[in-house]
Amino acid sequence: MIKAKNLVKEYKDFKLDVSFEIPAGYITGFIGKNGAGKSTTIKLLLGLIKPTGGSIEVFGIDSCKLNDDTKQNLGVTLADSSFANSMNVKQINNILKLMYKEYDEEFFMSKCKAFGLPLDKKIEDFSTGMKAKVRVLIALSHKAKLLVMDEPTSGLDVEARKEILDMLRDYMTEDEERAIIITSHISTDLEGLCDDVYLIDGGKIILHEETDVIQSSYGTLKVSDSQYEKIDKNYLIKAKKENFGYVCLTNQKQYYLENYPDVVIENASIDDLILNLAGGNRV
């Protein structure tokens, strides 16, 4: 569904250089620290900026050449951009009706009502959670084949986040040919939702892994200085010096569980990957 090959975007003080492929039926997460290149990747994917080099295709079309028809199949939530705050839900509904051929007014309005979103109230008077729900519903309202969600759950409480993530799961269940790309700072959201994740740091993809594999094979080892000297480092990806010794990241958790019973080994979360891969020293 999306194919990025040697995609490069250069700025004065930043260079993004990535290659990735997102097939249909996948929910893919893009994670990384602020300024890592996630939003630049999303903008390139949406054709909002042009690459300096390489190519990125969406539905087999150069992203900069996406026309009105191909955009019918895109549903997008941007973190900092949407309809004007002076509008209300009814007005947005009327606009979307004219924009999309496959617009599902019944779905949009019924979901708005179900979420308790006032139809006549200005968006500027909505809470952060309400605004986020409207943004996601807009993206879901026209049976898009690809959803691109930039920080859809940012600033929301647990309940609102759960409701949005459930909507995204339902959206995928309806049609397996769909795909979602999502960026989020809240790693637990991605762990429970994504099939695979790309970790971006300094404009480069430093890890691409299925979430199941992360949960089953990745682990963090907490070792003292003396343990660190003795331990087999062949399966350690990164090590970070701490007060008590080292925190090491491995993608062969089972090996260390079997061979080093005295070492503290914990399951690695996406946060651990970010902290270690984007910060630690390569072993």
Under the binding rule (CB under 8 A), the answer on residue 128 touching other proteins is no
**In contact, 108 and 69? CB cutoff 8 Å:** no
Size of the site for other proteins (CB under 8 A): 32
**In contact, 157 and 133? CB cutoff 8 Å:** no
Work out how close the CB of 68 gets to other proteins at its nearest, in angstroms, rounded to a whole number: 4
Under the binding rule (CB under 8 A), the answer on residue 91 touching other proteins is yes
Work out how close the CB of 78 gets to other proteins at its nearest, in angstroms, rounded to a whole number: 5
* Terminal-to-terminal C-alpha distance of the chain: 36
Work out how close the CB of 100 gets to other proteins at its nearest, in angstroms, rounded to a whole number: 7
**Considering only residues 72, 188, 227, 269, which one is a binding residue for other proteins as defined by CB under 8 A?**
72
At 269, give phi and psi (nearest 5°): -95, 175
Work out how close the CB of 148 gets to other proteins at its nearest, in angstroms, rounded to a whole number: 8
Taking the C-alpha atoms of residue 147 and residue 15, their distance in angstroms, rounded to an integer, is: 26
Work out how close the CB of 96 gets to other proteins at its nearest, in angstroms, rounded to a whole number: 7
Question: Which residue, 82 or 217, is less far from other proteins as judged by CB?
Answer: 82
Work out how close the CB of 113 gets to other proteins at its nearest, in angstroms, rounded to a whole number: 21
CB-based burial, 17-28: b 16+ in 10 Å, e otherwise: bbebebeeebbb
> Tokens for 122?
């200005």
Kindly tell me the sign of the dihedral angle through the C-alpha atoms of 35, 36, 39, 41.
positive
Show contacts of 91-99: CB within 8 Å, 24+ apart: 92/123, 92/134, 92/138, 96/138, 96/141, 96/142, 99/142
Under the binding rule (CB under 8 A), the answer on residue 6 touching other proteins is no
**Considering only residues 7, 44, 148, 180, which one is a binding residue for other proteins as defined by CB under 8 A?**
148
Under the binding rule (CB under 8 A), the answer on residue 7 touching other proteins is no
DSSP 58-84: ETTEEGGG--HHHHTTEEEEBTTB-S-
**Considering only residues 58, 76, 134, 199, which one is a binding residue for other proteins as defined by CB under 8 A?**
76
Work out how close the CB of 46 gets to other proteins at its nearest, in angstroms, rounded to a whole number: 5
Q: What angle do CA 194, 196, 199 make, to 5 degrees?
A: 110
| Listed ranges 80-88, 169-177, 235-243, 268-276: which one lies at the site for other proteins (CB under 8 A) | 80-88
Task: Please give the order of strands across the beta sheet that includes 246-250.
Answer: 264-267, 219-223, 246-250, 236-241, 281-282
Taking the C-alpha atoms of residue 125 and residue 132, their distance in angstroms, rounded to an integer, is: 13
Work out how close the CB of 189 gets to other proteins at its nearest, in angstroms, rounded to a whole number: 21
Under the binding rule (CB under 8 A), the answer on residue 94 touching other proteins is yes
**Considering only residues 24, 61, 84, 119, which one is a binding residue for other proteins as defined by CB under 8 A?**
84
Under the binding rule (CB under 8 A), the answer on residue 82 touching other proteins is yes
Nearby residues of 101 by Cβ (< 8 Å), 6 or more positions away? 72, 142
Taking the C-alpha atoms of residue 73 and residue 192, their distance in angstroms, rounded to an integer, is: 25
**Considering only residues 20, 100, 108, 246, which one is a binding residue for other proteins as defined by CB under 8 A?**
100
**Considering only residues 4, 27, 74, 248, which one is a binding residue for other proteins as defined by CB under 8 A?**
74
Under the binding rule (CB under 8 A), the answer on residue 48 touching other proteins is yes
Binding residues for other proteins (CB under 8 A): 43, 46-50, 66-69, 71-72, 74, 76, 78, 80-87, 91, 94-100, 148
